[in-house]
Amino acid sequence: MLILGSPEELDKRLGIKNRLTFRTAGDGLVVAEVDNPHASASICLQGGHVTAWQPKPAALPVVWLSRLAKFAPGKSIRGGAPVCWPWFGPHATEAGFPSHGYARTVPWAVTQAVSLADDATQITLELINSDQTRALWNHPGKLTLEVTVGQTLKLTLTTGNLGDDAFVISEALHTYLQVGDIARTRVLGLESCEFVDKTGPAGGLRRRQEGPLTFTAETDRIYVNTTADCVLEDPQLARRIRIAKSGSRSTVVWTPWAEKAGKMGDFGPDGWREMVCVESANVLENAVTIPGHGSHSMSVEYSLEN
Ligand code: TA6
């Protein structure tokens, strides 16, 4: 059941004393604020969008949010873990359709909020289908996101097919991770994987990853046919972030670097230097066909290792 209402009404129906409250942010968006013994986190109901996660022992957040991120109805938020669905990147045929699908810019509702036995906080959200969404994608789909905030952050994105006919989706949890300095950061786990380099000629060249991934310029790569964990090595902050996924066969890695970030306008001064996107996804040949009355889940768990 979709539980709708003002932050005050949501507090009454879903709030968990000293653990979960709801507030208004920006231009009237509603944000769930979690603060439990393990971590703090924020989830904007629009887009089912986790915008913050910081384990209690951590000096800095693990999930990055731009200082210039806008919280406005129908607008994407720069940072956090945007939900890209039911397509990734530009729409295959409709140039005027939103990039990365519509899930991240439409209203979602909370369906459940509980405290778990291990003191983690689990919130489940569901995308609210509407005439607006059906005008962009007219399949009988149901999209939910289960967020578990504890010593780790676990996100499970589930697509249900409520109709008789199969449909195809591509998807990503487009997560921005906070680092001390992108120029000193390495990504392990993608060695020898095939990838599409989207910074090259249109359509992108296919190459194979040699060794750990390091960054010296704009990097925009879709690694295909990989189910591997990734580890983000951050010597500047003396930490590693593990990205462990299931139900995902693609990993996208992106930094806009200085010039592109500047043009995008909502990274803030040097914001690009303190983030990198490592996105658990199913895109290109890894797009997912969901049979009639079937479902598919993609999960990712982020953990901090010193
Ligand atoms: O995931 C990488 C990417 O597809 C880049 O090409 C860039 O467009 C990025 O997503 C950000 O997209 P957004 O629509 O959130 O500005």
Q: Across residues 12-34, what is the average pLDDT?
A: 94
Q: Measured from the CB, is residue 174 less than 6 Å from ligand 1? A: yes
Instruction: Look at residue 190 and tell me if it is in a domain.
Output: yes
Please tell me the distance from the alpha carbon of residue 225 to that of residue 194, in angstroms, as a whole number. 8
pLDDT, tens digit, 9 for 90 and up, residues 93-133: 999 999 999 999 999 999 999 999 999 999 999 999 999 99
Burial 215-240, CB ≥16 within 10 A → b, else e: beebbbbbbbebebebbbbbeebebb
Domain count, the chain: 1
Q: Is 2 domain-assigned?
A: no
Q: Is residue 116 part of a domain?
A: yes
Q: How far apart are CA 286 and CA 298, in angstroms?
A: 12
* CA 255 to centroid of ligand 1, rounded, Å: 9
Residue 1 lies in a domain: no
Specify burial of residue 202 (Cβ count, 10 A radius: 0-12, 13-18, 19+): exposed
Mean pLDDT computed over 79-85: 98
Least confident of 3-17, 49-63, 145-159, 277-291: 3-17
- Ligand 1 mean position, distance from CA 99 (Å): 8
Distance CA(65)–CA(42), nearest Å, equals 11
Q: Of the residues 99, 195, 199, which should be mutated to test ligand 1's pocket, given the most ligand atoms within 8 Å of the CB?
A: 99
Q: What is the pLDDT of residues 161-213, one digit of tens each?
A: 999 999 999 999 999 999 999 999 999 999 999 999 999 777 779 999 999 99
Q: Give me the active site residues, please.
A: 174, 279
Q: Is 15 in the pocket of ligand 1 (CB under 6 A)?
A: no
- Domain CATH code at residue 107: 2.70.98.10
Band (249; pLDDT cuts 50, 70, 90): very high
* β partners of residue 39: 55
Q: Tell me the C-alpha distance between 172 and 305, whole Å.
A: 24
At 140-169, the pLDDT tens digits run 999 999 999 999 999 999 999 999 999 999
d(CA 160, CA 47): 17
**Residue 224 counted as domain residue:** yes
Contact 223, 194 (CB under 8 A): yes
pLDDT at 18 (0 to 100): 86
Residue 158's alpha-carbon distances to 85, 121, 236, 275, 288, in angstroms, are 11, 19, 35, 27, 12
> How far is 123 from 32, CA to CA, in rounded Å?
9
Instruction: Let me know if residue 194 belongs to a domain.
Output: yes
Phi, psi dihedral angles at 257 (to 5 degrees): 60, -175
Query: Is the shortest distance between the CB of 171 and ligand 1 below 6 Å?
Result: no
CA angle 97, 164, 49 (to 5 degrees): 40
Is residue 227, in this structure, part of any structural domain at all?
yes
On whether residue 83 sits in a domain, the answer given is yes
C-beta 76 within 6 A of ligand 1: yes
Q: What is the DSSP letter of 85?
A: B
Atom of ligand 1 nearest to the CA of 252: 1
Residues 48-74 have pLDDT tens digits of 999 999 999 999 999 999 999 999 999
**Can you give the residue range of the structural domain that contains 90?**
7-305
